[in-house]
Amino acid sequence: MSISSVRTKLLLVLVLGLLALPIAAQNRRGPRGRVYTKAEVNELIKVTENRSDRFIKLFDKALDKSALDGSQREDRINERAKDFEKAMDRLRKEFDKKESYIETKPEMRQVLAVAREINEVMLRRSLRADVEEERLHYAGN
Protein backbone atom coordinates (compact mmCIF):
# COMPACT_ATOMS: atom_id res chain seq x y z
CA MET A 1 0.00 0.00 0.00
CA SER A 2 1.51 3.36 -1.00
CA ILE A 3 2.15 6.14 1.49
CA SER A 4 -0.18 8.38 -0.50
CA SER A 5 -2.97 5.82 -0.21
CA VAL A 6 -2.31 5.35 3.50
CA ARG A 7 -2.22 9.12 4.01
CA THR A 8 -5.53 9.53 2.24
CA LYS A 9 -7.14 6.84 4.37
CA LEU A 10 -5.78 8.43 7.54
CA LEU A 11 -7.19 11.77 6.52
CA LEU A 12 -10.58 10.24 5.89
CA VAL A 13 -10.57 8.35 9.18
CA LEU A 14 -9.58 11.32 11.28
CA VAL A 15 -11.99 13.71 9.62
CA LEU A 16 -14.88 11.24 9.48
CA GLY A 17 -14.29 10.17 13.05
CA LEU A 18 -14.32 13.73 14.26
CA LEU A 19 -17.24 14.62 12.04
CA ALA A 20 -19.32 11.91 13.69
CA LEU A 21 -19.41 13.91 16.90
CA PRO A 22 -20.95 17.15 15.62
CA ILE A 23 -23.29 15.36 13.26
CA ALA A 24 -24.60 13.24 16.11
CA ALA A 25 -24.80 16.28 18.36
CA GLN A 26 -26.44 18.51 15.80
CA ASN A 27 -29.02 16.04 14.58
CA ARG A 28 -29.29 14.06 17.80
CA ARG A 29 -30.01 11.09 15.59
CA GLY A 30 -27.77 8.41 14.29
CA PRO A 31 -28.36 5.66 11.81
CA ARG A 32 -31.97 4.56 11.62
CA GLY A 33 -33.16 7.61 13.60
CA ARG A 34 -31.42 6.62 16.84
CA VAL A 35 -31.13 9.42 19.43
CA TYR A 36 -27.74 9.67 21.14
CA THR A 37 -27.50 10.20 24.87
CA LYS A 38 -25.05 12.53 26.54
CA ALA A 39 -23.27 9.46 27.93
CA GLU A 40 -22.79 8.05 24.42
CA VAL A 41 -21.42 11.34 23.13
CA ASN A 42 -19.17 11.47 26.21
CA GLU A 43 -17.77 8.07 25.24
CA LEU A 44 -17.15 9.26 21.66
CA ILE A 45 -15.25 12.26 22.97
CA LYS A 46 -13.23 10.04 25.31
CA VAL A 47 -12.26 7.71 22.46
CA THR A 48 -11.33 10.70 20.30
CA GLU A 49 -9.20 12.15 23.12
CA ASN A 50 -7.31 8.88 23.55
CA ARG A 51 -6.75 8.39 19.84
CA SER A 52 -5.74 11.97 19.25
CA ASP A 53 -3.22 11.85 22.14
CA ARG A 54 -1.54 8.83 20.57
CA PHE A 55 -1.67 10.35 17.10
CA ILE A 56 -0.13 13.66 18.23
CA LYS A 57 2.77 11.84 19.92
CA LEU A 58 3.47 9.81 16.79
CA PHE A 59 3.07 12.89 14.62
CA ASP A 60 5.65 14.80 16.69
CA LYS A 61 8.13 11.90 16.52
CA ALA A 62 7.62 11.64 12.76
CA LEU A 63 8.31 15.35 12.31
CA ASP A 64 11.50 14.96 14.38
CA LYS A 65 12.68 12.31 11.91
CA SER A 66 11.64 14.24 8.81
CA ALA A 67 13.42 16.86 6.70
CA LEU A 68 11.47 19.46 8.69
CA ASP A 69 13.31 18.65 11.94
CA GLY A 70 14.65 21.79 13.59
CA SER A 71 12.93 24.12 11.14
CA GLN A 72 10.49 26.93 11.79
CA ARG A 73 7.98 24.97 9.72
CA GLU A 74 8.24 22.05 12.16
CA ASP A 75 7.70 24.47 15.05
CA ARG A 76 4.55 25.85 13.38
CA ILE A 77 3.21 22.36 12.70
CA ASN A 78 3.89 21.29 16.29
CA GLU A 79 2.09 24.44 17.43
CA ARG A 80 -0.97 23.35 15.42
CA ALA A 81 -0.80 19.93 17.12
CA LYS A 82 -0.80 21.73 20.49
CA ASP A 83 -3.74 23.82 19.28
CA PHE A 84 -5.56 20.56 18.53
CA GLU A 85 -4.94 19.29 22.05
CA LYS A 86 -6.14 22.61 23.50
CA ALA A 87 -9.27 22.49 21.33
CA MET A 88 -9.99 18.95 22.55
CA ASP A 89 -9.46 20.12 26.14
CA ARG A 90 -11.91 23.02 25.63
CA LEU A 91 -14.43 20.64 24.10
CA ARG A 92 -14.11 18.32 27.11
CA LYS A 93 -14.40 21.20 29.59
CA GLU A 94 -17.48 22.67 27.92
CA PHE A 95 -19.08 19.27 27.42
CA ASP A 96 -18.65 18.45 31.12
CA LYS A 97 -20.16 21.69 32.36
CA LYS A 98 -23.10 22.01 29.96
CA GLU A 99 -26.39 20.23 30.35
CA SER A 100 -26.89 19.70 26.63
CA TYR A 101 -24.00 18.50 24.52
CA ILE A 102 -25.44 20.37 21.53
CA GLU A 103 -24.21 23.55 23.24
CA THR A 104 -20.61 22.42 22.56
CA LYS A 105 -21.00 22.82 18.80
CA PRO A 106 -18.57 25.81 18.58
CA GLU A 107 -15.87 23.84 20.41
CA MET A 108 -16.39 20.87 18.11
CA ARG A 109 -16.08 23.10 15.07
CA GLN A 110 -12.75 24.38 16.38
CA VAL A 111 -11.49 20.81 16.90
CA LEU A 112 -12.44 20.00 13.31
CA ALA A 113 -10.80 23.13 11.93
CA VAL A 114 -7.46 22.33 13.56
CA ALA A 115 -7.73 18.65 12.61
CA ARG A 116 -8.22 19.65 8.96
CA GLU A 117 -5.01 21.69 9.06
CA ILE A 118 -3.06 18.79 10.49
CA ASN A 119 -4.54 16.48 7.86
CA GLU A 120 -3.42 18.85 5.13
CA VAL A 121 0.14 18.55 6.45
CA MET A 122 -0.20 14.77 6.47
CA LEU A 123 -1.30 14.81 2.85
CA ARG A 124 1.63 17.00 1.78
CA ARG A 125 4.36 15.30 3.79
CA SER A 126 5.75 11.82 3.77
CA LEU A 127 5.95 10.84 7.43
CA ARG A 128 6.92 7.69 9.27
CA ALA A 129 4.96 4.54 8.67
CA ASP A 130 3.75 4.24 12.30
CA VAL A 131 1.91 7.55 12.00
CA GLU A 132 0.26 6.31 8.83
CA GLU A 133 -0.55 2.99 10.49
CA GLU A 134 -2.18 4.82 13.39
CA ARG A 135 -4.52 6.49 10.94
CA LEU A 136 -5.33 3.14 9.37
CA HIS A 137 -5.99 1.69 12.80
CA TYR A 138 -8.64 4.36 13.32
CA ALA A 139 -10.20 3.44 10.00
CA GLY A 140 -10.67 -0.11 11.22
CA ASN A 141 -12.39 0.89 14.46
Distance CA 55, CA 138 (A): 10
pLDDT at 110: 92
CATH code at position 122: 1.20.120
Decide which of 90 and 10 is more confident: 90
CA separation for the pair 41, 15 (Å, rounded): 17
Residue 23 is predicted with a pLDDT of 45
**Total domains present in the chain:** 1
The secondary element (H helix, E strand) that includes residue 139 is: helix 129-140
What is the pTM assigned to this prediction? 0.66
Query: Residue 48 is part of which domain span?
Result: 3-140
44-87 residue pLDDT tens: 899 888 888 888 888 888 888 878 788 898 888 889 889 999 99
